[in-house]
Structure 1
């Protein structure tokens, strides 16, 4: 009985194993499909066989009128446009691939860059008024205009506050050149003062200018006002000049002066800031003065009267505080130099300068 049961169990176990197909176990593996190295980019194009690919169909002409690229007067009547519009079922056939390539405004018939579509003027002038009301939004608009170009601000710039040490045995002295302004981006009140003198001596030259400044461009202001000279003799001038930033980042300040005695003079200053590092700045500077006629009481002759080229190297401890050192050559020229020699004075000299530039 037990032998019969063991025999039956062995037969049942062997039956599914016998049903498996082991005929392929001894066969060689089938060949792998050949890899197309040209299609995968593994082989240079010149080593691949030519491909007979069909050329892409030309893109359909775009409807610039429907897209708002052309002014209305250059478009056909709307009934013709309606006939050309695709139906909902035909939207799938539209080619949108060229929409991202519309960058060439030189295409004949294309709208210029400054063209504004008419739909840009649809709706209220101030959309927020429709929600909050004009009375609530008007103060916010006034504040926005005031903070973006309409602010009133001021500044004081000490351009030069320096001691001059004569290298040729002449007199040592000092110079100041300060200006400040108060106002907005367009209209300002400008106050300038400069002068020089000798240590332990009298004040040689001094002037104060009160000017109205008006922006005449992005980089230049037109200035007009009065100038008062307390030294070397009391004198009043009318002033007309320009101040701003010339091409190549040259700071320029030029003015004409007409005194109450009828004397016409002029002065031009130019300087350039060359950064050596973020804090170390080399500044070439030149100043020239002119006179339309002789001014005997000031020992000035007609023509170019004085030229002062200089070079200053400053270190910005902070942008608002920068000590400097340098040299400056001061020379009276022309008839003014002849007058200086006749009075027993040297018309030119080289000076070492040490000073401070600051603003607040």
Structure 2
């Protein structure tokens, strides 16, 4: 049976198709690599279009860029829909290139690229938008910086006014006294030559112990400048309705280092027994870790000598609730039986007082004091029917002016 012969003048030979493909491929590659003109969209990523087989799209010219006068060599609408089949897996190729020689024309439905809506095609790479200007590290999310960066302001966000102006009425006072009127004490550091003064009633209390009830006091005050001050100290106790023991010291304090000063003055003892006078000299100041220390030596008539060591500390549970431990040691060079004092270490006192500062100038407190007598002083206490070791409960008030 004779088959009809194809007219070779109508159907181009296979070599002609191959030659056309070789001519179109460089043009398509140049068109894809050429940068898009200003105002036009970025090159189309054909590899990201779902359902499209790029293997059969040989001989198809890419659409010209906007504003270009070049006409496409072939309109894609001339392509007739064919029976779809499973697309082949795309071969890996460099980004932005396509294997035009392997495109399957039959897998593409009829489409008009001239009327194609590029924004509606899923998976299409339209090119990255121009990068926004870098913002500073302190730009907060949602904050309006549109005026500076050209971006739109976020709704509901606005820049508040900068802090400034006068301090509020409830601001802290200049000397950090929590609302208490400023005292002249701040001038001590601001003007070293300005004389200022202070009177501190550190202990004004009633006590209850083994030997009965009584009252005691401890007062200190000073007046002067940074370098030189006049100090006044007094302490004592009243027991069984009469003054048991008391003393007054007047000292001249001279600063020799920050927070430290030397003291020189006199001391007078009164109460039960004969009165005594002493020359006093020593040091006092604030040690590291906020320990207040006093060390004073005394020289009296008839070769009598004495020394006193005192240390106290303030432990702040809050700004108003404060625990104050205090330790005191007394020593004497020789016995003084008329006043019930022996030689050596005569007595030691340890006190714990917990105060609450209603105001800085006024603080009630409660506490406990342990007293221990040693050596000949303990013997004199037994002769007077007093306890060698005594524990006293105390309650009082602390004041300063």
TM-score (normalizing by structure 2): 0.54
Q: Decide whether the 8 Å contact of 2:329 with 2:348 is kept in 1.
A: yes
**Structure 1 position 228, deviation (Å):** 1.3
Corresponding position: 1:283 with 2:324: yes
Partner SS for 1:339: helix
- Counterpart position of 1:258: 299
Q: Out of 219, 223, 240, which is 1:182 matched to?
A: 223
**Structure 1 position 220, deviation (Å):** 1.1
Give, in whole Å, the separation in 1 of the partners of 2:116 and 2:207: 104
Q: Out of 13, 17, 25, which is 2:114 matched to?
A: 25
CA offsets, 1:93-135, max 9 Å, x none? xxxxxxxxxxxxxxxxxxxxxxxxxxxxxxxxxxxxxxxxxxx
Two-structure CA RMSD over aligned residues (Å): 2.8
- Counterpart position of 2:196: 153
- Counterpart position of 1:45: none
Give, in whole Å, the separation in 1 of the partners of 2:188 and 2:282: 30
CA offsets, 1:192-225, max 9 Å, x none? 11111115x2211111111100011111111000
1:87-98 pair list within 5 angstroms: none
Aligned residues: 232
Q: Out of 346, 366, 381, which is 1:305 matched to?
A: 346
- Counterpart position of 1:85: none
Partner SS for 2:378: helix
Give, in whole Å, the separation in 2 of the partners of 1:31 and 1:147: 72
Q: Out of 255, 260, 263, which is 1:215 matched to?
A: 255
Corresponding position: 1:165 with 2:208: yes
Q: Comparing both structures, which one devotes a greater share of its residues to helix?
A: 1
Residues 316 and 31 from structure 1, CA distance in 2 versus in 1: closer, same or farther, beyond 3 angstroms?
closer
Residues 151 and 339 from structure 1, CA distance in 2 versus in 1: closer, same or farther, beyond 3 angstroms?
same
Residues 230 and 299 from structure 1, CA distance in 2 versus in 1: closer, same or farther, beyond 3 angstroms?
closer
1:1-360 pair list within 5 angstroms: 25-26=114-115, 31-32=125-126, 148-166=191-209, 168=210, 170-199=211-240, 201-232=241-272, 233-360=274-401
TM-score (normalizing by structure 1): 0.59
Give, in whole Å, the separation in 1 of the partners of 2:362 and 2:234: 20
Give, in whole Å, the separation in 2 of the partners of 1:339 and 1:198: 17
Residues 146 and 179 from structure 1, CA distance in 2 versus in 1: closer, same or farther, beyond 3 angstroms?
closer
**Structure 1 position 27, deviation (Å):** 6.1
- Runs of 5+ consecutive residues of structure 2 not aligned to the other structure: 1-68, 73-112, 119-123, 135-186
